[in-house]
């Protein structure tokens, strides 16, 4: 059984093109997820952090949404190019990426630091 320290959910919900809400799939959700998986593997984090597909997270107005648990940090308008920063700052060093935070997250009052995660050692 894996001992996961974090789960990162990436919305890849897909709606019809005429839906006024739009969808994360059309905004690049799958590419964000793929970049996250690649980045976690390259940094030796794939066994400590799980990249998960997610259906709709009800944050459609915030573009591609990424949700990190257990901290419950919501990031919006995420692109594949944002993934290295999320991995480095949040997942490795326990700091939120302020510029991507979705507003109104009272659980982050004072922006606590989260536990750091060490990459797995290569043998």
Q: What pLDDT, on the 0 to 100 scale, is given for residue 73?
A: 95
Domain 6-108 carries which CATH code? Answer: 3.40.30.10
- pLDDT beyond 90 at 53: yes
In this prediction the pTM is 0.87
Name which of 10-24, 47-61, 78-92, 94-108 the model is least confident about.
10-24
How far does Cα 72 stand from its chain's mean position? 10
- Number of C-beta neighbours around residue 72 at 10 A: 10
Query: Domain ranges in the chain?
Result: 6-108
């Amino acid at each position: 059984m894996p001992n996961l320290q974090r789960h990162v959910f990436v919305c890849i919900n897909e709606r019809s093109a005429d839906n006024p809400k739009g969808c994360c799939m059309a905004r690049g959700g799958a590419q964000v997820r793929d970049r996250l998986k690649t980045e976690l593997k390259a940094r030796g984090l794939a066994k400590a952090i799980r990249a998960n597909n997610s259906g709709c997270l009800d944050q459609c107005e915030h573009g591609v949404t990424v949700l990190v648990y257990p901290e419950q940090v919501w990031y919006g308008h995420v692109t594949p190019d944002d993934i290295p920063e999320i991995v480095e700052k949040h997942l490795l060093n326990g700091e939120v990426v302020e510029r991507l935070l979705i507003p109104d997250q009272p659980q982050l009052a004072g922006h606590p630091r989260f536990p750091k995660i060490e990459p797995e050692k290569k043998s």
